[in-house]
Amino acid sequence: MQTRRSETRLLRCGKYRLPLGKKTLLMGIINMTPDSFSHDGLLGDLPAAVARAKTLVAEGADLLDIGGESARAGFPPRRSEEEIARILPLIRALREEVEVPLSVDTYKSQVAEAALEAGASMINDISGLRVDPKLAEVAARYRAALVVMHIRGRPKERQIAPRYQALLPEICAFLQESIQMALRAGVLPDQIVVDPGIDFGKTTAQSLEVLKRLAELKNLGFPLLLAPSRKTVIGEVLQVPVEDRLEGTAAVVAYGVTQGVDILRVHEVKAMRRVVRMVEAILQGEEYGRSGQGG
């Protein structure tokens, strides 16, 4: 079992510098949509969204990820202008309310630029720069962090029984190409994060294999983000609906910590922060007591 590295490095997010290596960071999710798969969309209720954001930070969120378009397959894509109108009021409001980096969940450069101009400092691109390569140029210009995710096909396309010749090597090759695209556009190495994209263009068995082999993705040499919260793979393994996947999410979060995942994107920050703290204490073992953290 892999334990966390003892050394730390910094992730550059605009004016923020997030330490990685000793502590697993949590990214809280805020969906400004009416059609989120997890039924937590807050579109049209700015006060509730601001309150939700402040609660997530109080519960231990190190970042907030704000999305204006659901990634659900089969749902029509939204125009950039509509996506911008959904997220900008919240980003502007949160600039004065929270002191954590704000991430924009989008694969469109126009949306990303508007969000960064409004105060965001990270772009979370589920297309791995395949839909809109200009997105990397926007990240470089604003010195924003950039998450590149692996996906088979395009966002919102329904994948039926996707096939891979070699699952992990193909994912790593895709992410390597995304990294090179970002670097060529001027994104700095300490601004890049990779995400294996469980559920995106992957069957349940394939997503489980990715989770089993998470440590191999660390060989890419970049921070690793994992987004397991309420995912289909959990629902299919446990045979539970989306609103009943807390324990399954916690199990994946705990395993992710043991494999050196740097950032976990979750809905239930309070519960997952406790899971992370407990697993990290176990990994520290006797060092936990010597550090003065133990009772």
Q: How many CB atoms lie within 10 A of CB 263?
A: 27
Reply yes or no on whether 231 is catalytic: yes
Residue indicated by tokens 């890049």: 192
Q: Which two tokens stand for residue 290?
A: 């010597």
Give me the residues paired with residue 123 across strands.
104, 146
CA 200, 204, 206, 212 torsion-angle sign: positive
Q: Which two tokens stand for residue 230?
A: 């309420």
Catalytic residue among 130, 202, 231, 245: 231
CA 35, 39, 43, 49 torsion-angle sign: negative
Catalytic residue among 78, 108, 265, 273: 265
Q: Which two tokens stand for residue 235?
A: 């629902």
Compute φ and ψ for 96, nearest 5 degrees. Answer: -95, -5
- Distance (Å, whole) CA 149 – CA 198: 9
Pairing outcome for strands 145-149 and 102-105: unpaired
Q: What is residue 80's three-state secondary structure?
A: helix
Residue indicated by tokens 């970002």: 182
- Distance (Å, whole) CA 120 – CA 132: 19
Reply yes or no on whether 265 is catalytic: yes
Compute φ and ψ for 206, nearest 5 degrees. Answer: -70, -40
> Could you tell me the end-to-end alpha-carbon distance of the chain, in angstroms, rounded to an integer?
26
Residues serving a catalytic function are 231, 265
